[in-house]
Structure 1
């Protein structure tokens, strides 16, 4: 386990409560979050990704046809799921005032490759996600269990995989949309302009820049 973490629990709680209050002022308004990433091919299984102002590489290991220069797509997916739950545990810990001194979340995603290669007729390839949540805390057992349930229930990554999440893929060839592949229910279009859920606190650009300069 890592050393004790540095968390301003009052700050975490205040953000959670301010977001709840802001959304509660107009409960019928969808609070849509819409994170976006763009990925382009560099060479075979080596890709460049851009998301939220960051640029990073994605690759497959040598044994899967890549060069092992970066984590694989599913490694990022798994890390994202673990990070999402870690984030929600931290938010819930602040909101519920059930604190920890150290936290590390390990995620494992399981799937059966036979479906992809048409070896077996399986309804789906994914078998599930397993989380191991290593925490150090002096809080009572019932509060820690309630913390986990509250966090997992609100975790967006968990929500994606435990429900039938619809999919829409737009095939754009030479600049023109050729085909739209749909699987599942209709997906609402992304709202024009900044989405409410991506800035739930309503911070201005200047406030965001100032917090970045000051380290949060």
Structure 2
């Protein structure tokens, strides 16, 4: 993995927007292995090299995580990052933060045709230990959902369920 932070672009005082731009160049290098350079270009500059591969099920060698691993990990960690970033803005101290996620798809098959992927659902179970009250934690989670760039893409297509663990059980946020 290569990391080269170079600059930060601050939000302009006259604007209430900022740009987020990420580019990726991927190359097929093995049976099913892909290697990619991911370049964050706004609001800062940083590069990472990642690889993906499929296991024998898809004809790969299993030499790297499958692409869905990065997708699921990216979604969960994006939400967690937003919760922590917004906790600072809301002045909420977080003692612990854990997210357990389940992503489900179906592969639809027709004779003689490639399968089609169909999303079924995403559930994110969030556990937060904090002195802040339950309503403040729910407010924090809702803000983080709206600030998560990955969720902004996904939630337009399908429902994403967020649940908060409370002493009385799970509640939807």
Structure 1 runs (4+) deviating above 4 angstroms are none
How do 1:24-173 residues align onto structure 2 when only pairs under 5 Å count? 25-27=14-16, 31-52=18-39, 53-114=47-108, 117-118=109-110, 125-163=118-156
- For 1:99 and 1:138, locate their aligned partners in 2 and report how far apart those are by CA, in whole Å: 7
Larger radius of gyration: 1
CA change 1:44–1:124 in 2 (3 A) is: closer
CA change 1:33–1:131 in 2 (3 A) is: same
Deviations 1:141-191 (A, max 9, x none): 111111111111221111101115xxxxxxxxxxxxxxxxxxxxxxxxxxx
By percentage of residues, which structure has more strand? 2
- For 1:23 and 1:142, locate their aligned partners in 2 and report how far apart those are by CA, in whole Å: 32
Which 5+ residue runs of structure 2 have no aligned equivalent? 1-9, 40-46, 158-173
Which 5+ residue runs of structure 1 have no aligned equivalent? 1-18, 165-216
- Please give the TM-score of this superposition, normalised by the length of structure 1: 0.57
- Please say if residues 110 and 129 of structure 1, whose CA atoms lie closer than 8 Å, have aligned partners that are also in contact: yes
Kindly report the root-mean-square deviation, in angstroms, between the aligned alpha carbons of the 2 structures.
Answer: 2.2
Q: Which has the higher contact order (CA 8 A, sep 6+)?
A: 1
- Please give the TM-score of this superposition, normalised by the length of structure 2: 0.70
Q: How many residues align?
A: 137
By percentage of residues, which structure has more helix? 1
